[in-house]
Amino acid sequence: MSELSGAPGIRILLVEDDPGDVLIMREALEDSKILNELHVVDNGETALDFLLRRGEHADAPRPDLVLLDLNLSRVDGREVLARVKADEALRRTPVVVLTTSAAEEDIVRSYDLHANAYVTKPVDLDQFLRVVKQIDEFFISIVKLPPH
C-alpha cells in the first residue's frame, strides 16, 4: 500500500464503464491527503477476472474496497456483487454500490446481495466529488478493514 503524510492508503477497485465518472473518481481520490492505489475496470467480466485473479489478471492485488456500478456490460454489477459475496476469499471485501439508480428495487436487491453500502451518484459535479471523498475518508479514517 502507498503512504502519504504518514497515513496508509487502501487498494480500491473501481468497476465503472462511464469514462467521465472514472475521471471524476480519479480526481476526487487524488485530492485526498491519502495516496490510494486505484485500479479501474470497465465491465463486469473484467471485474470478476480481476477479483478472482483469472487470465491476464492472475497477479492482481486484492482490493481493500470495491466501488461498483450496477449497469455494466458483459456481466451486470448485480452478478459481480453476488459472485463476490459468494466467494469465501472475497466475501469480507467491502463493496459500495455507486450508481445512478435510485430505484427502490435496486437498493433492496443490492442489500439482499450483501452490499456494504448503496450510494446514488449525484448529478452535480461538486456533490459527486464530495461523495467520493466522503467514501474514501470513511474507509480510510473510520472503518477497520479485514485482512486479506
* Residue 107 falls inside a structural domain: yes
Distances (CA, A) of 102 to 9, 44, 49, 120: 30, 20, 28, 6
According to the model, what pLDDT value does residue 6 have?
Answer: 40
According to the model, what pLDDT value does residue 138 have?
Answer: 87
Domain that holds residue 125: 9-136
- How many domains, the chain? 1
Distances (CA, A) of 65 to 15, 99, 103, 125, 127: 11, 16, 24, 23, 21
- Look up residue 56 and give its three cell numbers: 491476464
Q: Mention every residue, 6+ apart, whose C-beta is less than 8 A from residue 2.
A: 8, 9, 35, 36, 37
* Residue 71 falls inside a structural domain: yes
According to the model, what pLDDT value does residue 25 have?
Answer: 87
Q: Is 6 exposed, middle or buried (0-12, 13-18, 19+ CB in 10 A)?
A: exposed
* Residue 23 falls inside a structural domain: yes
- Per-position pLDDT tens, the chain of length 148: 333 334 467 899 999 999 999 998 888 888 766 678 899 999 999 999 999 999 999 999 999 999 999 999 899 999 999 999 999 999 999 999 999 999 999 999 999 999 999 999 988 888 988 888 888 888 877 777 777 7
According to the model, what pLDDT value does residue 3 have?
Answer: 34
The vertex-106 CA angle with 23 and 102, nearest 5°, equals 60
According to the model, what pLDDT value does residue 146 have?
Answer: 79
* Residue 145 falls inside a structural domain: no
CATH number, position 35 = 3.40.50.2300
Helix 19-30 / helix 125-137 crossing angle, nearest 10 deg: 50
